[in-house]
């Protein structure tokens, strides 16, 4: 089984912000030309965190307003 990074499907256009877990980028999806926000998490922060990640994404209240 091979793994392909999801970043290969996007062109990062601009850094929108940074936080404790990583960065958020404005990006364009190559196939659909949709403009999206991509959150890039720092692996070292996640590995060293005592957090429980279920793999299920739940947007924050601010992100829900933006959707």
3-state helix, strand, coil in the chain (%, to 5): 20, 35, 40
39 a known binding residue? yes
Count of CB atoms situated within 10 Å of the CB of 60 = 8
Contact (CB, 8 A) for 41 and 21: yes
| Binding-site positions for ATP | 39
Q: Which residues are part of a known binding site?
A: 39
């Amino acid at each position: 089984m091979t793994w392909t990074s999801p970043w290969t499907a996007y062109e990062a256009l601009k850094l929108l912000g940074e936080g404790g877990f990583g960065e958020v980028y404005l990006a364009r999806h190559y196939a659909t030309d949709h403009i999206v926000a991509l959150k890039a998490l720092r692996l070292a922060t996640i590995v060293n965190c005592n957090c429980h990640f279920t793999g299920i994404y739940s947007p924050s209240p601010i992100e829900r307003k933006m959707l």
